[in-house]
Homo-oligomer: A and B are copies of this chain.
Amino acid sequence: MVTISKDRPGVTLVNVFRTDPARQAELVALLVEATEAVMRHLPGFVSATIHRSLDGTRVTNYAQWRSAADFEAMTRHPDAAPHMMRAAEPAQGFDPNLYEVVESVGAAG
């Protein structure tokens, strides 16, 4: 189970991939495979959660890393590049950004 807390140190990657609905399942499978085979073994990886949009046009990776430096090191790692390129192929575009959590709000009452 993944937890989100503004008190947890670290950074969050939110990467929104646009895709043809006909290729959404393929893109999901590639991202799960890349996470299982490579990402989770790299220093500073905390978690990754793959989401598929209900309308079929998006796949979003919500991933937590110990630090921005660990994330940047992953992007330069030779094992990561082939997986990232394969995941990019069925996508029509992607928008990766690193974030910090500002605030979490639960339901009232």
Chain A interface residues (CB < 8 Å from chain B)? 1-5, 11-12, 14, 16, 28, 32, 35-36, 39-41, 45-55, 57-58, 60, 62, 68, 95, 97-109
Contact = CB atoms under 8 A, between A and B. Distances in A.
Contact of A2 (B4, B51, B95): B4
Given A1-B3, A14-B51, A46-B107, 18 more contacts: A1-B5, A1-B104, A2-B4, A11-B54, A14-B16, A14-B60, A32-B103, A40-B106, A41-B108, A41-B109, A46-B106, A47-B106, A51-B102, A52-B100, A53-B97, A54-B100, A58-B99, A62-B62
Contacts of A50: 101-104
